[in-house]
């Protein structure tokens, strides 16, 4: 399977509407998300940015009943095609959650979990080491790989979760406010990590922190709710343009801290 197609867009989203039960959460989303770069999603609470992220690996439907119209394609393949194998999709699209969620097992087993689920047998030492190295946590845990992952600090746990995602060699990494439960130093380390991973895969990060979006991303999507509380994509573009010369008044108000 060749995961490196020639198209420069990781995702193409066309006329996407998202419903939780009967309540619409997103309306008419159209966007291309470029590959091998970091895209930040910003917007006030309840604007649907996490919902949008969760539709990109179809994890939303694991949580509750949802309905999605329109089309989302990943490197040219429609991910809502009924024939899509969710297991395969989610292997290619990793996800890091708001609160670090290491499994209650050893550090080693956490990283080896994905490969084992996909039937990799035998010695995973090399893969575990390279994944932990990529997630910039190898030096801190190499002497205690067999101890419980839950003894790590919050920031270490979050980097472990990133290593866990990287172990199945994804093309895309979705991050849902990955630093909101972390202190500034741990946050900085995650941001450095994002910067280093950028050349290897596509990263899409939801963040409440505008400075963070400015620091880590090349492109930014600004979501907001309309009068009927339905989320919509207001503006998208290069991060520096969104931040320094927003076209939409709502974007400007949000960026400058007038609401949200």
Partner 1 sequence: MTMSKQSDDLTQPLEAGRTFFNTGMTILSGVFTLLGLIPLFLVLFYVLSQGFSSLNADIFTQLPAPSGTLGGGFGNAIQGTMIMVAIAASISVPIGVLTAIFLSEYSRDSGFVQYVRFGVNVLAGVPSIVIGVFAYGVVVTTSGGFSAYAGGFALAILMLPIIIRTTEEALKLIPWELRLGSFALGADRFNTIARVILPAALPGIITGIMLAVSRAAGETAPLIFTALFSQYWLEGLNKPTASLAVLIFNYATTPYADLQHKAWGASLMLLILVLIISIVARIVFRRRS
Binding residues for partner 1, per CB under 8 A?
A: 57, 59, 62-63, 86-91, 94-95, 97, 99, 101-105, 113-114, 116-118, 161, 164-165, 168
Cβ closest to partner 1, residue 33 vs residue 112: 112
We find the least distance from the C-beta atom of residue 153 to partner 1, in angstroms, to be 18
We find the least distance from the C-beta atom of residue 123 to partner 1, in angstroms, to be 19
We find the least distance from the C-beta atom of residue 222 to partner 1, in angstroms, to be 25
Cβ closest to partner 1, residue 150 vs residue 232: 150
Cβ closest to partner 1, residue 170 vs residue 246: 170
10 Å CB burial of residue 71 (0-12, 13-18, 19+) is middle
Enter the DSSP assignment of 150. G
Would you say 51 and 58 are in contact if contact means Cβ atoms under 8 Å apart? no
We find the least distance from the C-beta atom of residue 99 to partner 1, in angstroms, to be 6
For residue 222, which of 259, 255, 176, 177 has the smallest C-alpha distance?
Answer: 255
Locate tokens 């207001």: which residue? 234
We find the least distance from the C-beta atom of residue 5 to partner 1, in angstroms, to be 20
Cβ closest to partner 1, residue 178 vs residue 214: 178
For residue 49, which of 98, 100, 101 has the smallest C-alpha distance?
Answer: 98
Q: Which residues partner with 26 through β-bridges?
A: 18, 231
Would you say 225 and 44 are in contact if contact means Cβ atoms under 8 Å apart? yes
Q: List alpha helices for the chain, DSSP H.
A: 49-56, 60-63, 86-92, 107-117, 125-134, 138-141, 154-166, 184-197, 210-216, 239-244, 249-255
How far is Cα 74 from Cα 12, in angstroms, rounded to an integer? Answer: 7
We find the least distance from the C-beta atom of residue 125 to partner 1, in angstroms, to be 19
Cβ closest to partner 1, residue 57 vs residue 219: 57
Cβ closest to partner 1, residue 170 vs residue 231: 170
């Amino acid at each position: 399977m060749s995961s490196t197609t020639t198209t420069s867009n990781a995702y193409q989203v066309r006329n996407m509407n998202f419903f939780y039960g009967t309540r619409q959460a997103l309306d008419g989303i159209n966007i291309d998300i470029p590959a091998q770069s970091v895209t930040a999603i910003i917007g006030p609470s309840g604007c649907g940015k996490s919902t949008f992220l969760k539709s990109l690996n179809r994890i939303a439907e694991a949580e509750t009943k949802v309905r999605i119209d329109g089309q989302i394609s990943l490197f040219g393949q429609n991910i809502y095609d009924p024939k899509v194998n969710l297991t395969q999709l989610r292997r290619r699209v990793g996800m890091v959650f708001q609160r670090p969620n290491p499994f209650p097992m050893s550090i080693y087993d956490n990283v080896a979990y994905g490969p084992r689920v996909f039937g990799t047998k035998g010695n995973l030492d090399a893969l575990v080491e390279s994944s932990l190295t990529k997630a910039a946590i190898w030096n801190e845990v190499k002497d205690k790989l067999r101890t419980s992952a839950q003894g790590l600090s919050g920031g270490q746990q979050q980097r472990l979760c990133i290593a866990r995602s990287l172990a199945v060699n994804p093309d895309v990494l979705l991050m849902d406010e990955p630093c909101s439960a972390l202190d500034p130093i741990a946050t900085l380390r995650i941001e450095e990590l994002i910067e280093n991973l950028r050349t290897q895969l596509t990263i899409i990060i939801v963040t409440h922190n505008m400075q963070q979006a400015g620091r880590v991303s090349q492109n930014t999507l600004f979501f907001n709710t309309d009068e009927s509380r339905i989320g919509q994509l207001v503006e998208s573009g290069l991060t520096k343009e969104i931040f320094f010369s927003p076209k939409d008044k709502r974007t400007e108000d949000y960026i400058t801290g007038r609401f949200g």
